[in-house]
Amino acid sequence: MGLNEKMFALGNKRSIIREIFEYSKTRAAEIGAENVFDFSLGNPSVPAPAEVNDTIRELLDTQNSVLLHGYTSAQGDLGVRRAIAARIAERFGVDMSPNLLYMTCGAAASLTICLKALIEEDKGDECIVFAPFFTEYRVFIENAGGKVVISQPEAGTFQIDIADFENRITEHTKAVIVNSPNNPSGVVYSRETIEAMCRVLKEKSEEYGHVIYLIADEPYRELVYAGVEVPYLMNHYANTLVCYSFSKSLSLPGERIGYIAVCPNMEDATTVYLAVCGAGRSLGYVCAPSLFQQVIARCLNAKVNIEAYKKNRDLLYDNLTAYGFECVKPDGAFYLFVKSPEGDAFRFYEKAKAHELLVVPCDDFGVSGYVRIAYCTDYERVKNALPAFKALAEEYRA
Ligand code: PLP
């Protein structure tokens, strides 16, 4: 074909989520947007805090335009990195250095960079992901030349199954990705789970005589309900890289802004950081959006209204479980992971679609027989969808 076939295949095959999203637009044109209940995309429905928009205006009005829109250092503006390091130190008690922070275009870029920095293609490196997992992990890991190894969750709770995890680690394990709160289950891994996982990692690193890195994928860190704790992985395991994003925490997914933080207690932290810088360079990811670096540095204490997500979660969870659907109550993110009453996720998706309910079949997320409902939408829409969910449940009972 005269081009990279793997890349062609990736571009040619649209993700199922995008597929459903496109269908929802076509369907809305046919029967009216109010009659289609699209729960496919994880696009925040809560606006960015007013502080964010005020800061953008203020920066535009007061700063030198050439500097504001100009290139920053490849790894990000030093003042911005200092502000983030101070915030990490204050919140989590980690002695973070601005020289271990790398500004990125969101968590997707952060993950791609970290994997590129760590994985040695010619050594058969493996990266463990915990099912259910964000499907793009497979794309990112394979693109970095690594092999995806899936660890299955504890039945019923979707916490990490420690015994399963331990069995998946081999001499080739280079990295482990942890995503909590989790997309698609909404589960927050408990402190007990995290401690047990880190214990295993330390033992196995010693047994195999090399570091196994932990990559904390944290776009949903701030979206937790009822004060549930999300352990900060650097405090449990020194060989951690945090991939943070402001996409969901400040409802800025289209602005593409986040960062990588290399744990200061990591063995050879500076060397790993330089590999991160090199990976960013090789991927063309230097200098994250300049205006938004300045914006987030001034809005590190800002918060979105997560009460709106919580209200949706409660309404959906309470009603769907009352109708007889099975799901774990999510403590965070904005997803509900629902078991297919007939086992097969795709057939459940098709039956829901006949009721104009658009949910995502999740077999590609590493756990079969579940669908994901993204409840980052208007409360009214969730409420109006309930009769359709009820009818779907009744259809199954019949
Ligand atoms: N990781 C997970 C688990 C996600 O759900 C997403 C986006 O939905 C990302 C990473 C990518 O986020 P970003 O917009 O920061 O690139």
Element containing residue 278 per DSSP (H, E): helix 269-282
Q: What pLDDT score does 267 carry?
A: 87
CATH of region 5-49+304-397: 3.90.1150.10
Secondary structure of residue 127 in the 3-state scheme:
strand
Q: 307 C-alpha to center of ligand 1: Å?
A: 21
Is there a shared CATH topology between the 5-49+304-397 domain and the 51-298 domain? no
Instruction: Decide whether any atom of ligand 1 lies within 6 Å of the 255 Cβ.
Output: no
Q: How many helices (H) and strands (E) does the chain have?
A: 14, 12
* 51-298 under CATH 3.40.190.10, yes or no: no
Instruction: Decide whether any atom of ligand 1 lies within 6 Å of the 108 Cβ.
Output: yes
Q: Is the pTM of this model over 0.95?
A: yes
Q: For ligand 1, atom 2, which residue shows the shortest CA distance?
A: 134
Residues 118, 276: contact at Cβ < 8 Å? no
Question: Among 136, 172, 173, 140, which Cα is nearest to 279's?
Answer: 140
Secondary structure of residue 225 in the 3-state scheme:
coil
Length of the chain: 398
Q: For ligand 1, atom 8, which residue shows the shortest CA distance?
A: 42
Q: 173 C-alpha to center of ligand 1: Å?
A: 23
- Give the pair of three-digit tokens for residue 2: 């005269």
Euclidean distance between the first and final Cα of the chain, in Å?
Answer: 52
Element containing residue 358 per DSSP (H, E): strand 357-358
- For the stretch 199-235, what's the b/e string if a residue is b when 16 or more beta carbons lie within 10 angstroms of its beta carbon? ebbeebbeeeeebbbbbbbbbbbbbbbeeeebbbbbe
CA 74/CA 222 separation, integer angstroms: 27
Q: 220 C-alpha to center of ligand 1: Å?
A: 8
Write down the domain spans for the chain: 5-49+304-397, 51-298
Q: 329 C-alpha to center of ligand 1: Å?
A: 21
Instruction: Decide whether any atom of ligand 1 lies within 6 Å of the 135 Cβ.
Output: no
Q: 395 C-alpha to center of ligand 1: Å?
A: 35
Q: What pLDDT score does 227 carry?
A: 86
pLDDT along the chain (398 residues), means of 10: 91 87 94 95 96 98 97 98 98 98 98 98 96 96 98 96 98 98 97 98 97 98 94 98 98 98 96 98 97 98 96 98 97 97 96 97 95 97 97 95
What atom in ligand 1 is closest to the CA of residue 245? 15
- Give the pair of three-digit tokens for residue 200: 């295993």
